[in-house]
Copies of this chain bind each other. A is one copy, B any other.
Amino acid sequence: MSSPIGKTKHAVALEVESKNPSASPAGFKIFNRIVDWITNDRMQLINVTERINEIVRKSGVRDGIVHLQSLHTTTALFINEWQDALLHDVRAFLDDLVHREEYYRHNDPAYSDCERSNADSHLRGMVMGQSLCLQVRNSAVLLGTWQSIILAEFDGPRSRSLSIQVSGI
């Protein structure tokens, strides 16, 4: 499955793990999946809404919570409208909120053994957050008309894993 990123970029989603739901006798269920995305750019926004909805449908949970957690500090998960013009503004805003070309100890060999020079990526991931909890209603993720779930890559290209847990009844 491919997710459109702006007009020309694509990310490939690979489902790497699959589990049967753990159900308690009374109907409370937990369903876990890990999905991988391969990113192409240093900063990239990926619309994961449809992928998450597929997993929610498979989970068998009708009413509950879907919890998304990126397993990487230099990524983020958030909600916004999926519109090319706005996505351009989002990237510009994040570039401006945390400047890449500033002095950071994390990028300085005198203080750090990290060779990726990615302090800006860490700070963007920290501010925007790496987990997101949304409601499941009638076997779908509850989202307003203009809300899309966005996975942000801040230090690509990389392979990125998202852990998705659907729980409820």
Q: A106-B83, A131-B133, A134-B131 are in contact. Are A30 and B168 (CB under 8 A)?
A: yes
> How many residues of A sit at the interface, in one of the four size bands?
35 or more
26 A–B contacts, CB within 8 A, in A order: A25-B26, A25-B27, A28-B28, A30-B63, A32-B135, A65-B167, A67-B135, A70-B144, A71-B143, A71-B144, A73-B79, A78-B129, A79-B125, A79-B129, A80-B122, A85-B105, A85-B108, A85-B111, A85-B112, A86-B112, A86-B114, A89-B123, A130-B147, A131-B132, A133-B133, A144-B161
**B-contacting residues of A (Cβ < 8 Å)?**
22, 24-28, 30, 32, 62-65, 67, 69-73, 78-81, 83-86, 88-90, 93, 98, 104-106, 108, 111-112, 114, 119, 122-123, 125-135, 137, 142-147, 161, 163, 165, 167-169
